[in-house]
Structure 1
Amino acid sequence: MFTYIVRRLLMLIPVLFGVSIFIFFVMRVVPGDVAQTILGTDATPAALAQLRENFGLNLPLYQQYLNWIGGVLTGDFGESMRTGKAILPDILTRFKLTFELTLIAAVISWIISIPLGIIAATKRNSKTDFGLRIVSLLGVSVPNFALATVIILVLSLYFSYSPPVGYVGFFENPIKNLEIIIIPAIVLGTSMAGAVMRMTRSSILEILRQDFIRTIRAKGAKEKVVIFQHALKNAMIPILTIIGLQIGTLLGGTVIIEQIFSLPGLGQLVLTAITQRDFMVVQGSVLFIAFIFVMINLLVDLLYSYLDPRISYK
């Protein structure tokens, strides 16, 4: 196991290296002059030249990249071209909100999707099954921003309630924090639930066809024991795979929900930096998100061996 973990961690190096090259050069080919954007149209040529020199934009591209990636390797993600503040502390602060939002959304998704997926599988081709499959299809099909808009309209028009604006840390005020987070988390969790529910249903149906399930039933085991102690655990690997992908995607893809609910998360930071052409913030944020994503994939792979003893990593 230890050898496998080390090998996977070493594999992160070329992956993150490729991501860093990609995002660096993509930001350089985006139309527009960052110095002009920062200083405005009235800036003099001398001021523009001075700003480019301050940020090293007058250097060859390969030199700019080496300077940036060299700083990243020492834990220095650089400074924002807009505010002049260090980027990494800002990324970590924003990430706390995005991580909390993603975690609560994932828990809501599991609470909804796994039980409903089990019910749909055990009542295959019944009216209940067809109804739940329609619900899961709606969850997959309806965009989360559309669902968020509908929820806000319903709450404001029929209950005279508007979601609070801003953000308060959990340890500062837990009640206020949950009030801010819970509605966007429900939106994201509902969107996630559709895919997880469909996967749960199909995985359990596949396991229920296996010979060992017939043997367990033949021994007189109760149906609850068959489903929850045997079928569900063996069906969890594909379910866990899609859950891991969803969590990794949400950590870098909550930007629309954060914009709708005015949450200062990591997605909003990246979007603002892109519109302001703040190269350093975009590069650092994307590289950080890529690192988190591959680490989640590693964690999911390690959980496979826990769920299925037949899987071993050497």
Structure 2
Amino acid sequence: MYAYILRRLLMLIPVLFGISIFIFCTLRIIPGDVAQTILGTDATPEALAQLRKEFGLDLPLLEQYLNWMGGVLLGDFGESMRTGKEILPDILSRFAITFELTLLAALISWIIAIPLGIIAGIKRNSKTDFSVRIISLLGVSVPNFAFAIVIIMLLAIYFSYSPPVGYVGFFEDPITNLQILILPAFVLGTSMAGAVMRMTRSSILEILRQDFIRTIRAKGAKERVVIFNHALRNAMIPILTIIGMQIGVLLGGTVIIEQIFSLPGLGQLVLTGINQRDFTVVQGSVLFIAFVFVIINLIVDLLYSFLDPRITYK
């Protein structure tokens, strides 16, 4: 087990190295830079050259990359070109908001998707099954930003309610915190629920056809015991896989929802950095998101052995 974890952690090195090269080169391809953003279109070439020199943008690309990666390897993600503040503390504080939103959305998704998926799998081809399949198809098909806009409009028109603006930490005021996050989390959670629901249904159907399920039923076990003690546990591996992938994607993919609900999360930080051509902010944020995504995948892989003792890692 420990050797497997060590190997997976060592795999982080080439993965993050490749991502760092990709994001560094991609940002340099985008027209414009932070100097043009700060000084505007009327800036003189001399002023632009002076500001670029201060930011180190006049150096060869390879030297810029090595300077940046050298700092990252020492735990220094650099400073924002716009504000001059250190990036890492800002990334961590913004990530805490995105992480809380993601966990709340995942919890809502599980509460909706897993019970409905189990019911659809048990009652195959019934009206309930068809209803669940339609709901899951809508969850997969409707973009979360479109659903968010519709929800906001309906609440405003029929209930004169508008989502709170800003953010208050959970430990500062738990009630206000949940009031702020519950609507965006519900939007993200329902979008996640569609895929989880479909996977739960298909996994339950596959397991219920297995010989060991027929044997358990033949021994007189109650249906509740068959479903929850045997079928669900064996069906959880593909469900856990898609849940882990969704959580990883949400940690870096909540940018639109954060923008709609004015949440100062990591996604909004990346979007602002792109708009302002703040290269160091975007590079550091994307690299941090990639690191977290790989760690989540590792945790999911380790949970497989807990769900199925036949799975071992050496």
TM class by shorter-chain length? over 0.9
Give aligned-pair identity as a percent: 83
1:221 aligns with 2:218: no
Superposed counterparts of 1:40-189, under 5 Å: 40-189=40-189
Superposed counterparts of 1:266-285, under 5 Å: 266-285=266-285
CA deviation map 1:39-64 (0-9, x unaligned) = 21233333222211111111111000
State the TM-score, normalizing by the size of structure 2. Answer: 0.99
- Which residue of structure 2 aligns with residue 247 of structure 1? 247
2: CA distance, partners of 1:31 / 1:43: 16
Superposed counterparts of 1:22-41, under 5 Å: 22-41=22-41
Which secondary structure state, in structure 1, belongs to the residue aligned with residue 256 of structure 2? helix
- Which residue of structure 2 aligns with residue 286 of structure 1? 286
1: CA distance, partners of 2:54 / 2:292: 31
1:207 aligns with 2:200: no
Letter in 1 for 2:46: A
RMSD across aligned positions (CA): 0.8
Letter in 2 for 1:183: L
Is the Cα contact below 8 Å between 2:34 and 2:82 reproduced in 1?
no
What stretches of structure 2 of length at least 5 have no aligned partner? none
Letter in 2 for 1:9: L
Tell me the CA shift for residue 33 of structure 1. Answer: 3.5
- Which residue of structure 2 aligns with residue 259 of structure 1? 259
2: CA distance, partners of 1:34 / 1:146: 32
Which secondary structure state, in structure 2, belongs to the residue aligned with residue 220 of structure 1? coil
Letter in 2 for 1:240: L
What stretches of structure 1 of length at least 5 have no aligned partner? none
Tell me the CA shift for residue 90 of structure 1. Answer: 0.6
- Which residue of structure 1 aligns with residue 312 of structure 2? 312
1: CA distance, partners of 2:134 / 2:34: 48
- Which residue of structure 1 aligns with residue 300 of structure 2? 300
1: CA distance, partners of 2:179 / 2:227: 36
Letter in 2 for 1:125: N
CA deviation map 1:80-118 (0-9, x unaligned) = 111111111111010010000000000000000000000
Tell me the CA shift for residue 31 of structure 1. Answer: 1.2
Tell me the CA shift for residue 154 of structure 1. Answer: 1.1
1: CA distance, partners of 2:277 / 2:45: 19
State the TM-score, normalizing by the size of structure 1. Answer: 0.99
Is the Cα contact below 8 Å between 2:200 and 2:239 reproduced in 1?
yes
1:196 aligns with 2:196: yes
2: CA distance, partners of 1:234 / 1:184: 32
1: CA distance, partners of 2:126 / 2:9: 47
Letter in 2 for 1:88: L
Which secondary structure state, in structure 2, belongs to the residue aligned with residue 312 of structure 1? coil
Aligned length: 314
